């Protein structure tokens, strides 16, 4: 057994202070400590101690989430479990490459191994509702309108806040689309920078299972919103959906021969002066799940529209839609299952969604992906690697 045997099982959750990310934290803890007999949870260190690290944009948000989680857990954990749980936090703005680098350094220094990462944080660059389109979609197909709304007007050309059009035009920083940066690229760079703690030991004495990177996708993915010539969705009128479609192709493509060259280079542990990577270790695997439809504040709308939206969600569930989970805790079912399931060969290379029945029974359904993953993943992975290296060089030259 190697020396990491008694280290805790560590889970990192981005956007853990609200909505789905907060629910993933609660659900992961409850399931981790109540699981049982069939080797579940699969990726642990053997110590039966769990560290959940909440990645948030400020310390205050993390502290308030930790207080909420402690209250939630008070009556839900079996005896003795609370002393085997540690709630930690790290501050990160995923839209800012320098903040990502700082958080990665902190995580590398804090943890020898991270077993699960939930890439959950996201933004919708929402501007307003297009009421004419809303009326048309709601009256022609109510459930579709409440599942894949085509009436969210989004900001076209919005860049990550760390840069203005001026700084990009002046050639100071490479262009970074707002939704792409927070939803995909910040996570992508973070994972690479903490790659050494994501690798499992492959020594003969302790053959460990790979760490699992659980990307949170969406049922709103749509190949029509994604353009290989604009992977950042900067020209797109639906940049959120573009980022989620990209996520599907990135994750599912990571298993295909077309992307292997890039996936291997991406998952190679970066060499540094203070760290020599082991010659033999196991890289993490990418998995993808979506929460169905849950009631959160991801789209900033007034209270009365939130109320109407929730009534609409309940009507959809009553009309038989399996995707209207509504409660984020139910939405967290599929992401948490991907982390803890022992059946890794069954879950990888497919997209899973949380679903539920009218009576509240929870199920997990495989979700069809319409993108041409085989045709696009090689090119996409190549572009992502090029962009990552460009930012690496840019930040390196500025430090």
Residues in the site for ligand NAP, rule: CB under 6 A? 14-15, 17-21, 57, 61, 92-95, 120-123, 182, 216, 218-219, 290-291, 293-294, 296-298
Q: Which C-beta is closer to ligand NAP: that of 21 or that of 41?
A: 21
Q: Give the nearest distance from C-beta 118 to ligand NAP in angstroms.
A: 9
Q: How far is the CB of 86 from ligand NAP (least distance, A)?
A: 20
Residues 6+ away with beta carbon under 8 Å from 324: 146, 147, 292, 293, 313, 314, 316, 317, 356
Residue 299 beta carbon to ligand NAP: minimum distance, rounded to whole angstroms: 8
- Nearest CB to ligand NAP, comparing residues 168 and 309: 309
Question: Nearest to ligand NAP by Cβ — which residue?
Answer: 19
Q: Cβ atoms within 10 A of the Cβ of 19, count?
A: 21
Write down the least CB distance from residue 166 to ligand NAP, Å: 21
Q: For 276, phi and psi rounded to 5 degrees?
A: -110, 115
CB of 291 to ligand NAP, least distance (A): 5
Contact call for residues 213 and 191 (beta carbons, < 8 A):
yes
Q: Return d(Cα 245, Cα 240) in angstroms, integer.
A: 9
The smaller minimum CB distance to ligand NAP, of residues 23 and 81, is found at 23
Q: How far is the CB of 351 from ligand NAP (least distance, A)?
A: 12
Q: How far apart are CA 104 and CA 163, in angstroms?
A: 21
Q: Which is nearer to ligand NAP, 231 or 334 (CB)?
A: 334
* Nearest CB to ligand NAP, comparing residues 81 and 213: 213
What minimum distance in Å lies between the beta carbon of 215 and ligand NAP?
Answer: 8
Closer residue to ligand NAP, CB minimum distance, 48 or 362: 362
- CA distances from residue 366 to 97, 289, 292 in whole angstroms, order as listed: 33, 9, 11
For the CB of residue 204, give the shortest distance to ligand NAP in the complex, in Å: 39
CB-nearer residue toward ligand NAP: 209 or 296: 296
Nearer to ligand NAP by C-beta: 102 or 206? 102
Q: Among residues 268 and 310, whose Cβ is nearest to ligand NAP?
A: 310
Min CB(354)–ligand NAP separation in Å: 9
- Calpha distance 285→275 (Å, rounded): 23
Cβ 81 to ligand NAP shortest distance, Å: 25
Of the pair 148, 282, the CB lying nearest ligand NAP is at 148
């Amino acid at each position: 057994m190697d020396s990491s045997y008694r280290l805790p099982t560590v889970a990192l959750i981005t956007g853990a202070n609200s909505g789905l990310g907060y629910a993933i934290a609660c659900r992961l803890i409850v399931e981790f400590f109540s699981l049982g007999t069939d080797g579940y949870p699969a990726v642990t260190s053997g110590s039966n101690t769990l560290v959940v690290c909440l990645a948030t944009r400020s310390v205050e948000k993390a502290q308030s989430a930790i207080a909420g989680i402690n209250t939630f857990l008070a009556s839900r954990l079996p005896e003795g479990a609370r002393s085997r749980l540690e709630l930690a936090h790290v501050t990160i703005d995923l839209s800012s490459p320098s903040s990502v680098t700082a958080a990665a350094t902190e995580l590398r220094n804090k943890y020898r191994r991270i077993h699960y990462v939930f890439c959950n944080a996201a933004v919708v660059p929402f501007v307003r509702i297009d009421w004419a389109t809303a009326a048309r979609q709601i009256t022609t197909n109510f459930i579709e309108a409440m599942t894949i709304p085509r009436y969210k007007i989004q900001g076209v050309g919005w860049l990550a806040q760390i840069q203005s059009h001026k700084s990009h035009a002046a050639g100071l920083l490479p262009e970074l689309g707002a939704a792409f940066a927070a939803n995909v690229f910040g996570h992508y760079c973070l994972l690479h920078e903490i790659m050494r703690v994501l690798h499992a030991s492959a020594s003969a004495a302790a053959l460990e299972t790979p760490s699992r990177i659980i990307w949170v996708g969406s049922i709103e993915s749509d190949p029509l919103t994604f353009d290989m010539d604009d992977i950042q969705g900067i020209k797109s009128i639906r940049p959120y959906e573009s980022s989620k479609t990209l996520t599907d192709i990135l994750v599912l493509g990571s298993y295909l021969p077309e992307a292997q060259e890039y996936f291997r280079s991406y998952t190679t542990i970066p060499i540094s002066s203070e760290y020599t990577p082991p010659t033999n270790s196991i890289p993490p695997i990418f998995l993808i799940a979506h929460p169905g439809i849950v009631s959160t504040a991801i789209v900033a709308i007034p209270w009365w529209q939130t109320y109407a939206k929730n009534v609409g969600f309940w009507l959809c569930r009553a009309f038989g839609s399996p995707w209207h989970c509504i409660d984020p805790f139910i939405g967290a079912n599929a992401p948490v299952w991907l982390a803890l399931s022992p059946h890794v060969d069954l879950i990888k290379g497919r997209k899973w969604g949380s679903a539920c029945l009218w009576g509240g029974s929870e199920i997990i359904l495989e979700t069809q992906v319409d993108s041409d993953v085989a045709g696009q993943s090689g090119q996409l992975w190549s572009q992502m690697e090029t962009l990552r290296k460009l930012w690496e060089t840019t930040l390196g030259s500025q430090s």
